[in-house]
Amino acid sequence: MAGALRRFVENKPGARMCLPTGATPRPAYHRFAADGTLSSATIYLLDEFGLPPGSPSRCDEMIARDLLDRLDVPPGSFHALDVGAGDLEAECARYEASVRAGGLDLAVLGLGGNGHLGLNEPGSDRTSVTRVVSLTPETSEHSTDYGSDQAATWGMTMGIDTLLSAAEIWLLVTGSHKAAILRRTLSDPIGPDVPSTFLRLHDAVTIYADQAAAARL
Protein backbone atom coordinates (compact mmCIF):
# COMPACT_ATOMS: atom_id res chain seq x y z
CA MET A 1 0.00 0.00 0.00
CA ALA A 2 2.90 2.39 0.65
CA GLY A 3 3.85 2.49 -3.02
CA ALA A 4 0.26 3.04 -4.09
CA LEU A 5 -0.10 5.91 -1.63
CA ARG A 6 3.13 7.45 -2.87
CA ARG A 7 1.90 7.32 -6.46
CA PHE A 8 -1.50 8.67 -5.45
CA VAL A 9 -0.14 11.83 -3.84
CA GLU A 10 2.38 12.32 -6.64
CA ASN A 11 -0.33 12.12 -9.29
CA LYS A 12 -2.85 14.22 -7.37
CA PRO A 13 -1.26 17.33 -5.85
CA GLY A 14 -3.49 18.78 -3.16
CA ALA A 15 -5.13 15.42 -2.45
CA ARG A 16 -7.63 15.35 0.41
CA MET A 17 -7.40 12.08 2.31
CA CYS A 18 -8.93 10.29 5.27
CA LEU A 19 -6.35 8.17 7.08
CA PRO A 20 -6.72 5.53 9.82
CA THR A 21 -4.41 4.56 12.66
CA GLY A 22 -3.38 1.39 14.45
CA ALA A 23 -1.31 -1.70 13.81
CA THR A 24 -2.61 -2.45 10.31
CA PRO A 25 -1.45 0.72 8.49
CA ARG A 26 1.69 1.23 10.62
CA PRO A 27 4.14 -0.75 8.43
CA ALA A 28 2.87 0.99 5.30
CA TYR A 29 3.17 4.40 6.96
CA HIS A 30 6.78 3.69 7.95
CA ARG A 31 7.65 2.61 4.41
CA PHE A 32 5.88 5.62 2.92
CA ALA A 33 7.70 8.02 5.25
CA ALA A 34 11.08 6.72 4.07
CA ASP A 35 10.82 8.57 0.76
CA GLY A 36 7.26 9.88 0.39
CA THR A 37 5.82 13.32 1.03
CA LEU A 38 2.52 14.78 2.15
CA SER A 39 3.61 18.37 1.64
CA SER A 40 0.66 19.22 -0.59
CA ALA A 41 -1.95 16.89 0.92
CA THR A 42 -4.76 17.60 3.36
CA ILE A 43 -5.29 14.84 5.91
CA TYR A 44 -8.41 14.10 7.94
CA LEU A 45 -8.10 11.60 10.77
CA LEU A 46 -10.76 8.90 10.51
CA ASP A 47 -11.71 8.71 14.18
CA GLU A 48 -10.63 9.37 17.75
CA PHE A 49 -10.96 7.59 21.08
CA GLY A 50 -12.46 9.44 24.03
CA LEU A 51 -9.18 9.51 25.95
CA PRO A 52 -7.22 12.33 27.63
CA PRO A 53 -4.78 14.43 25.57
CA GLY A 54 -1.40 12.78 25.24
CA SER A 55 -2.69 9.24 25.79
CA PRO A 56 -0.55 6.91 23.65
CA SER A 57 -3.72 5.20 22.42
CA ARG A 58 -5.20 8.41 21.05
CA CYS A 59 -5.46 8.27 17.28
CA ASP A 60 -3.82 11.68 16.89
CA GLU A 61 -0.85 10.44 18.93
CA MET A 62 -0.57 7.24 16.89
CA ILE A 63 -0.59 8.92 13.49
CA ALA A 64 1.95 11.45 14.74
CA ARG A 65 4.31 8.65 15.83
CA ASP A 66 3.76 6.45 12.79
CA LEU A 67 3.60 9.01 9.99
CA LEU A 68 3.32 12.74 10.54
CA ASP A 69 6.38 13.23 12.76
CA ARG A 70 8.45 11.44 10.13
CA LEU A 71 7.45 13.90 7.39
CA ASP A 72 7.39 17.62 6.70
CA VAL A 73 3.66 18.24 7.11
CA PRO A 74 2.68 21.91 6.68
CA PRO A 75 0.76 23.54 9.54
CA GLY A 76 -2.97 23.44 9.01
CA SER A 77 -2.92 20.47 6.64
CA PHE A 78 -3.82 17.91 9.33
CA HIS A 79 -7.31 17.78 10.84
CA ALA A 80 -8.52 15.69 13.78
CA LEU A 81 -11.67 15.44 15.85
CA ASP A 82 -11.45 17.23 19.21
CA VAL A 83 -12.80 14.82 21.83
CA GLY A 84 -12.18 17.49 24.46
CA ALA A 85 -14.52 20.02 22.86
CA GLY A 86 -17.16 21.53 25.11
CA ASP A 87 -19.93 20.69 22.64
CA LEU A 88 -19.19 17.33 21.05
CA GLU A 89 -22.16 17.40 18.67
CA ALA A 90 -21.09 20.80 17.39
CA GLU A 91 -17.54 19.52 16.94
CA CYS A 92 -18.82 16.57 14.89
CA ALA A 93 -20.93 18.90 12.74
CA ARG A 94 -17.92 21.19 12.20
CA TYR A 95 -15.73 18.27 11.14
CA GLU A 96 -18.35 16.84 8.81
CA ALA A 97 -18.83 20.24 7.17
CA SER A 98 -15.09 20.63 6.68
CA VAL A 99 -14.81 17.21 5.04
CA ARG A 100 -17.79 17.80 2.79
CA ALA A 101 -16.71 21.30 1.78
CA GLY A 102 -13.80 20.00 -0.29
CA GLY A 103 -14.67 16.32 -0.45
CA LEU A 104 -12.31 13.37 -0.05
CA ASP A 105 -10.21 12.08 -2.90
CA LEU A 106 -9.29 8.99 -0.91
CA ALA A 107 -10.42 7.24 2.27
CA VAL A 108 -8.02 4.64 3.63
CA LEU A 109 -9.67 2.25 6.09
CA GLY A 110 -8.84 -0.70 8.28
CA LEU A 111 -11.26 -3.55 8.93
CA GLY A 112 -12.39 -4.25 12.48
CA GLY A 113 -12.89 -7.79 13.70
CA ASN A 114 -16.66 -7.23 13.86
CA GLY A 115 -16.75 -5.36 10.55
CA HIS A 116 -16.45 -1.89 11.98
CA LEU A 117 -15.02 0.88 9.81
CA GLY A 118 -13.46 3.60 11.90
CA LEU A 119 -15.63 3.45 15.01
CA ASN A 120 -18.78 2.64 13.06
CA GLU A 121 -19.73 -0.42 15.10
CA PRO A 122 -22.38 -2.99 14.11
CA GLY A 123 -25.73 -1.23 14.03
CA SER A 124 -24.34 1.82 12.24
CA ASP A 125 -26.69 3.12 9.58
CA ARG A 126 -25.83 3.64 5.92
CA THR A 127 -26.75 7.33 6.27
CA SER A 128 -24.61 7.96 9.38
CA VAL A 129 -22.29 10.96 9.43
CA THR A 130 -19.57 12.16 11.81
CA ARG A 131 -20.81 11.63 15.34
CA VAL A 132 -20.17 10.52 18.92
CA VAL A 133 -20.39 6.74 19.36
CA SER A 134 -20.29 4.17 22.14
CA LEU A 135 -17.77 1.37 21.73
CA THR A 136 -18.37 -2.36 21.96
CA PRO A 137 -16.46 -4.14 24.75
CA GLU A 138 -14.16 -5.62 22.08
CA THR A 139 -13.23 -2.23 20.65
CA SER A 140 -12.95 -0.70 24.12
CA GLU A 141 -10.46 -3.38 25.15
CA HIS A 142 -8.60 -2.93 21.86
CA SER A 143 -8.06 0.74 22.69
CA THR A 144 -5.53 -0.28 25.35
CA ASP A 145 -3.34 -2.11 22.83
CA TYR A 146 -1.31 1.00 22.08
CA GLY A 147 0.05 1.82 25.52
CA SER A 148 -2.84 3.39 27.41
CA ASP A 149 -3.81 2.07 30.85
CA GLN A 150 -7.29 3.53 30.36
CA ALA A 151 -9.79 1.89 28.01
CA ALA A 152 -11.96 4.16 25.89
CA THR A 153 -15.71 3.58 26.17
CA TRP A 154 -16.69 6.12 23.52
CA GLY A 155 -15.23 7.95 20.58
CA MET A 156 -15.92 10.13 17.56
CA THR A 157 -15.85 8.90 13.98
CA MET A 158 -16.61 9.78 10.41
CA GLY A 159 -19.87 8.08 9.46
CA ILE A 160 -20.60 5.50 6.81
CA ASP A 161 -22.11 8.09 4.49
CA THR A 162 -19.10 10.35 5.03
CA LEU A 163 -16.73 7.56 4.01
CA LEU A 164 -18.78 6.49 1.01
CA SER A 165 -18.61 10.07 -0.27
CA ALA A 166 -14.88 9.62 -1.00
CA ALA A 167 -13.89 9.29 -4.65
CA GLU A 168 -11.78 6.22 -3.84
CA ILE A 169 -11.66 3.85 -0.86
CA TRP A 170 -8.78 1.56 0.08
CA LEU A 171 -9.42 -1.21 2.62
CA LEU A 172 -6.35 -2.60 4.41
CA VAL A 173 -6.67 -6.11 5.89
CA THR A 174 -3.85 -8.14 7.43
CA GLY A 175 -3.57 -11.32 9.46
CA SER A 176 -5.41 -14.61 9.71
CA HIS A 177 -7.64 -13.19 12.46
CA LYS A 178 -9.24 -10.95 9.81
CA ALA A 179 -9.88 -13.73 7.26
CA ALA A 180 -13.41 -14.51 8.45
CA ILE A 181 -14.58 -10.90 8.59
CA LEU A 182 -13.07 -10.12 5.18
CA ARG A 183 -15.06 -13.02 3.74
CA ARG A 184 -18.22 -11.74 5.45
CA THR A 185 -17.54 -8.23 4.15
CA LEU A 186 -17.68 -9.59 0.62
CA SER A 187 -20.49 -12.13 1.02
CA ASP A 188 -22.91 -11.19 3.83
CA PRO A 189 -26.06 -9.20 3.04
CA ILE A 190 -25.30 -5.48 2.88
CA GLY A 191 -26.47 -3.88 6.09
CA PRO A 192 -25.66 -2.54 9.55
CA ASP A 193 -24.95 -5.95 11.11
CA VAL A 194 -21.57 -5.89 9.35
CA PRO A 195 -20.84 -2.23 8.55
CA SER A 196 -18.00 -3.10 6.18
CA THR A 197 -20.54 -4.64 3.77
CA PHE A 198 -21.61 -1.08 2.92
CA LEU A 199 -18.35 -0.76 0.98
CA ARG A 200 -19.95 -2.88 -1.73
CA LEU A 201 -22.19 0.09 -2.52
CA HIS A 202 -19.13 2.05 -3.69
CA ASP A 203 -17.75 1.59 -7.20
CA ALA A 204 -14.09 2.39 -6.51
CA VAL A 205 -12.94 0.22 -3.61
CA THR A 206 -9.51 -1.43 -3.62
CA ILE A 207 -8.73 -4.12 -1.04
CA TYR A 208 -5.13 -4.56 0.11
CA ALA A 209 -5.05 -7.92 1.90
CA ASP A 210 -2.11 -10.11 2.80
CA GLN A 211 -2.14 -13.84 2.13
CA ALA A 212 -3.31 -14.72 5.63
CA ALA A 213 -6.26 -12.33 5.53
CA ALA A 214 -7.28 -13.54 2.06
CA ALA A 215 -7.03 -17.24 2.93
CA ARG A 216 -10.80 -17.80 3.11
CA LEU A 217 -11.73 -16.02 -0.10
CA atoms of 89 and 107, how far apart (whole Å)? 23
* H or E element at residue 207: strand 205-209
| Annotated active-site residue in 60, 61, 105, 121 | 121
| Annotated active-site residue in 114, 125, 168, 202 | 114
Q: What are the residue ranges of helices labelled H in the chain?
A: 2-11, 26-35, 59-66, 88-102, 137-142, 160-164, 179-187
| Annotated active-site residue in 60, 61, 105, 116 | 116
Strand order in the sheet with 154-157: 47-49, 154-157, 131-134
30 catalytic residue (yes or no): no
Residue 216's region, left for phi above 0, alpha for psi from -120 to 50, else beta, is: alpha
Angle at 29 between CA 124 and CA 215, to 5 degrees: 65
Total residues found in the chain within this entry: 217
Measuring CA to CA, how many Å separate 201 from each of 164, 167, 185? 8, 13, 12
11 catalytic residue (yes or no): no
CA atoms of 208 and 182, how far apart (whole Å)? 11
Which residues carry out catalysis? 47, 114, 116, 121
